[in-house]
Each structure stands twice: as structure tokens, then as C-alpha cells.
Amino acid sequence: MEALSHQAEEMIVSFGTADAAARLAGLCETIDGRLVFTTSFGLEDQVVTHLIATQRLPVEIVTLDTGRLFPEVHALWAKTEARYGLAIKPFYPRHDEVEGFVREHGINGFYGSIAARKACCGARKVEPLGRALEGAAAWITGLRADQSAARGGVALAEIDAERSLVKFNPLLDWNREQALAFARANEVPLNPLHAQGFLSIGCQPCTRAIRPGEPERAGRWWWEEEAAKECGLHLGPDGRLVRVKPAPEVAA
């Protein structure tokens, strides 16, 4: 794990001031092994897909189909594959896990408690993610540090100790306006729900449009009052977002 931490810190120093395209290319040159990008077809993920596809980087693009997605997500999935001439590999929940959850909690039992909601996310998202990342050397995400207070400490390169891999966040220092401007300038296909106020899109029953003045992720698990709302994909065993120790200062 110490070697991984050192590698992550070196990437922060080497690529911290580079643009997102150069960061991704640099990751591919630095890491030996399988590189996986997980997309949910949100704004940031579509930008990352564009950067990977247009540079023809050796990155496997995968997605988690929970079985409760908006139909617009499936339509965008097909449109994205056609736009870039690639195949996005799906990972589905194990049927016995979902069946067990529904038997115990009911079809919409995730509304009942935070524990039940996290159990649903565990079956539909976290377990499939484990299979998607099995054997990977690096995991690429579309996380931005300004998406929520919980994500404010996101680093360019982090360590996922549970999976023994480097987690790479090439858009960490972007804001939503930058991502949207990039997508429009490069004709990146986007989910039409974004224009209807769905800025952060997850499963259909767990996502609503945000109201004026609300933060970007307020529409996720909107019935919960918990401040740091996450599905578990980006959390470590302690329930916190995984990150490495601060990197050495980079000269301006």
C-alpha cells in the first residue's frame, strides 16, 4: 500500500497543473495494468468519456445498470456508444441480492430508513462495482471537489485501500460551468434531464430536480436529512470518502 500511496502522490505532483486530457494520458503512461472508468452518464462522466475516446486511450469504460435508471439514461447510453464508436460494458446487480432486499424491505423499501437505502445501494451499485473493478490497477471517476462538502477534499489521485488500486479524478478542480461549456463546445451528448433541473442523476425513484438555491446534489436521496449523502461507491470501510495524505507543495 505504501508503494501505491507514493505513486498517487507522484501523479499529483506530475499532473496537478495539467489539463484533464493530459492528466488522463499521463495516467495511462504511468500505470501498468487494467484501467477502468465508471460512468453513470452524468455531465462530468460524459466529458471524461469524450477525453478517453477522442485520445483513444486504453481505458475500459463500464457502467452500473441498477435496474431503476431513468429511461433517458439508457437512451444516452446508446447515443454515446454511437457517437464515439465504442462499447460500454455493463455490470448488473446479482438477482439474489436484489430479490433478498425486496423480500425484506419491499420494492420501494429504500424510503424507509437510511440503513435500508444504503442496503439497496449496496446490492444495486456497490457489489457490481466490486466486480467491475476486480483486477484493475486504476479507477477513473468524474468526481469534482465542488459537488458537495463531502467531496471537498477529493485529490487528483487517491488510494482505494479496500481494492488496492489508484483512484484518479481528472476533473476534481473543474466546476459545473466549465464542464457544461466543454461539453457544448465539443458536441458531447448530454442527458436532457440536466436542463430540467436534474443536475445529479442516480436511480429514478431516488432522484428529483433541485430547487432554486439548492446545492447540486440536493436532489439525490432527497427525503434524507443526512448531510453527506453518498451511495457507497466512493466510501472506504469507515464510511468516509477515501483520500491520500496531502501531496507535497507544487511550485507555481
Query: Residue 219: is it exposed, middle or buried by C-beta count within 10 angstroms (0-12/13-18/19+)?
Result: buried
3-state secondary structure of 56: coil
Distance, CA of 247 to CA of 40 (rounded, Å):
29
Q: Does 231 qualify as catalytic in the annotation? A: yes
Is 120 marked within a binding site?
yes
Q: What pLDDT, on the 0 to 100 scale, is given for residue 244? A: 38
The pLDDT assigned to 231 comes to 53
- Of 117-126, 145-154, 157-166, 233-242, the range with the highest mean pLDDT is 117-126
Q: CA–CA separation, 192 vs 178, rounded Å?
A: 18
Task: Please check if 28 is assigned to a binding site.
Answer: no
| pLDDT tens-place string over residues 178-225 | 999 999 999 999 999 999 999 999 999 999 999 999 999 999 999 998
Region 130-136: mean pLDDT is: 97
To 10 degrees, what angle do helices 95-105 and 114-121 make? 160
Strand partners, 38: 62
pTM for this one? Answer: 0.88
* Confidence (pLDDT) at 250: 33
- 121 labelled binding-site residue: yes
Question: Read out DSSP for 21-42?
Answer: HHHHHHHHHH--SEEEEE----
Q: Which of 231, 241, 242, 244 is catalytic?
A: 231
Averaged over 67-88, what is the pLDDT?
Answer: 98
Residue 236 or 15, more confident: 15
pLDDT score, position 148: 60
> Considering the chain, what is the average pLDDT of its residues?
90
Q: Please give the full DSSP string across 84-143, using - where no structure is assigned.
A: HT--PEEE---HHHHHHHHHHH-TTGGGS-HHHHHHHHIIIIIHHHHHHTTTEEEEE---
Share of the chain above pLDDT 70, in %: 87
pLDDT band at 71 (very low <50, low <70, confident <90, very high): very high
- pLDDT reported for residue 119: 98
- What is the mean predicted confidence (pLDDT) over 212-241? 70
Cell numbers describing residue 5: 500511496
pLDDT of residue 187: 98
In this structure, what DSSP letter does residue 241 have?
B
**Whether 99 contacts 114, CB under 8 Å:** no
pLDDT: is 181 or 1 the higher one? 181
Q: Which amino acid is at 14?
A: S
The single-letter code of the amino acid at 6 is: H
Please name each of the domains of the chain with its CATH number.
2-192 (3.40.50.620)
| Residue 220 cell numbers, joined | 439525490
234: left (phi over 0), alpha (psi -120 to 50) or beta: alpha
